[in-house]
Amino acid sequence: MSEHITVLLNEAVDALIQDPDGLYVDCTFGRGGHSRLILERLGQDGRLIGIDKDPRAIATANELAKEDSRFSICHGSFADIEQWVAQQGEGRPIAGVLMDLGVSSPQLDEAERGFSFMQDGPLDMRMNTEAGMTAAQWVATAKEEDMANVFYEFGEERYSRRIAKAIVNRREVEPFERTLDLAAVIKEAHPKWEKKQTSGNTMLSSHSDFH
C-alpha cells in the first residue's frame, strides 16, 4: 500500500494554530498527518481532540494518544463535536477546528472497504465498519425512487432513474454483494458509460454511510 500524503499539511496547520496553548479539534483524524503536526506546534498546555469513524484510524490514534498526553481520540462523527468537546475538552473554549473532508486514499486503495469500483471487494462503503448499514444492505432494501433521488441529488447522475430501475430488477434475481458486480449492472444501464466511467463510484460513495 502506498504511503498516504496529507495535502496542504503545513498550510492548513499554519492557518489553524493561532494560540499554541489552546484547545483544538481535528474532526477527521484519518491517518494522523494533521494531528501530528498540530501537536508539534502546540505548547505544553495545548490540547488536541481527534475524531474519526474509521476503526483503522482509531487504532492509529490510540497509539498517538499513548505517545502524547495532550491528545485524545473520539470514535464517532464530527457531527457530535459538542458532545466530544464536553467529554474531552476539560471545560476549555475551542481555539480552532480542522476538517479534511472526503474519502481518504487509503480507504480507496483497500479493496475490502468497498469504496472503489476499480477493484473487486465486498460492497460495504461505510466509514465506520462497526456500525450502520452497508452499501449492499442499502441497495437490497432501498425503494427505487429513493435510490434514484440519492443518485441524482448526491451523485448528479442524470440517468439516475434508469440505473435505479436496473438495480431493482437485478436484486429481485440475486442480491448484490461485490463492488464489481454492482458496477457491471450500472455500466449496462448507463448509455454513456464510456465517457463517464466513474459514475457508479461517485453516486454511491457520496452516500457512503448508509444509516
Q: Are residues 122 and 42 in the same domain?
A: no
Q: What pLDDT is attached to residue 202? A: 47
**Between residues 114 and 152, the one the model is more confident about:** 152
- Which residues are paired to 13 by β-bridges? none
**Between residues 116 and 30, the one the model is more confident about:** 30
In a domain, 199, yes or no: yes
In a domain, 211, yes or no: no
In a domain, 3, yes or no: no
Backbone φ and ψ of 132, nearest 5°: 85, 180
pLDDT at 57 over 50: yes
Q: Are residues 53 and 78 in the same domain?
A: yes
Looking at 101, 123, 155, which one is the last position of a domain? 101
Looking at 47, 78, 101, which one is the last position of a domain? 101
In a domain, 176, yes or no: yes
How many structural domains compose the chain?
A: 2
Q: What pLDDT is attached to residue 204? A: 56
Output the domain CATH number for residue 52.
3.40.50.150
pLDDT at 99 over 70: yes
Q: Are residues 144 and 91 in the same domain?
A: no
Output the domain CATH number for residue 164.
1.10.150.170
Q: Are residues 194 and 172 in the same domain?
A: yes
**Between residues 89 and 107, the one the model is more confident about:** 89
Question: Taking the model in full, what pTM does it have?
Answer: 0.67
pLDDT at 211 over 50: no
Which contiguous run of DSSP H or E holds residue 10? helix 9-16
What is the residue range of 186's domain? Answer: 111-205
Single out the residue of 108, 132, 110, 136 nearest to residue 123, CA to CA.
136
Encoded amino acid at 4, one letter: H
Q: Are residues 85 and 143 in the same domain?
A: no
Assess contact for 101 and 7: CB atoms under 8 A: no
Looking at 76, 101, 126, which one is the last position of a domain? 101
Distances (CA, A) of 33 to 4, 5, 30, 98, 126: 9, 8, 8, 12, 22
Q: Are residues 39 and 63 in the same domain?
A: yes
